[in-house]
A and B are shown apart, each in its own frame.
Chain A
């Protein structure tokens, strides 16, 4: 079998994301959870924000889906994307069920209006969401490289550690149950990059998109850590871009 053209790139992106996943702002939440557990209000703040992000994936993927045309990629690529949409929807439902179970509010409509579940445009969460949505105009393998071999790998690592630290059985299962799907998204990303990101210009673009997605995801995680632990720490400094033209 011929060597897949994007194999080295996929390995490179995975290695970079794994290196970044070793320390994330969620680490402080994990340490606090191990030390004194996650009280109900803190758990609701955590799940509320993660739910807000998950439901925004309907918006992100809606934009990405519009960029897919007939016969531009084999059906397997589109099948995998549709599976990812369903999985993301499942995770959104799991978070919503958890919020109702933990009595953040009695109904979904009230959770939408609750400060823990409300979407705010002036937030790192929104910054990350719009950053991903902006990839709608890029080729599908580029945006899959950015998300599935970037933030998804970072998320996989912190979620595994957090699951381990949580004592509450139902809350633990809310996170543990996502593992299979999240792993499949990473594997799918690897496969698509290996097969379809072949040209040097595309490979460079995938590197850039992955770096940007990881950076913006970390910004969201920083905000999440502060929100859950009810503190204020300085956000990561904005990246300086040298304009050469």
Chain B
């Protein structure tokens, strides 16, 4: 499961665009007035899909929810084909 680290995210929205383009729709805009980018863990297919990590330009802005490990830039296993 992934989540956005708002201390590092630049809100450039590349993750939103790529996620919509792939019809996964896990990345969304929060309804509160800050309108920050969030990831719906129920819709996200990570590690099956790692497209948002590939497009994200801000180091450390997407992390694994459980461990807090940064996955931007994508770690080596993100480049491997998933079964």
Q: A100 in the interface, Cβ–Cβ < 8 Å?
A: yes
The DSSP consensus for interface residues of chain A is helix
| Total residues of chain B contacting the partner, CB 8 A | 12
Q: Which of B20-58 contact A (CB under 8 A)?
A: 20-21, 23, 25, 28-29, 31-33, 35
> A residues 213-232 with Cβ under 8 Å of B?
none
Minimum CB–CB distance for A93 against chain B, Å: 5
Give CA–CA (A89, B23) in the complex, Å: 19
Are A96 and B20 in contact (CB-based, < 8 A)? Answer: yes
Chain A positions near chain B (C-beta within 8 angstroms): 89-90, 93-94, 96-97, 100, 106-109, 170, 173-174, 176-177, 179-180
6 smallest A-B Cβ distances: which pairs? A173-B31, A107-B23, A93-B29, A108-B20, A97-B28, A180-B33
B interface residue numbers (CB < 8 A to A): 13, 16, 20-21, 23, 25, 28-29, 31-33, 35
What are 22 A-B contacts with C-beta separation under 8 Å? A89-B13, A90-B35, A93-B13, A93-B16, A93-B28, A94-B29, A94-B31, A94-B35, A96-B20, A97-B28, A97-B29, A106-B23, A107-B20, A107-B23, A109-B23, A170-B31, A173-B31, A174-B31, A176-B33, A177-B33, A179-B33, A180-B33
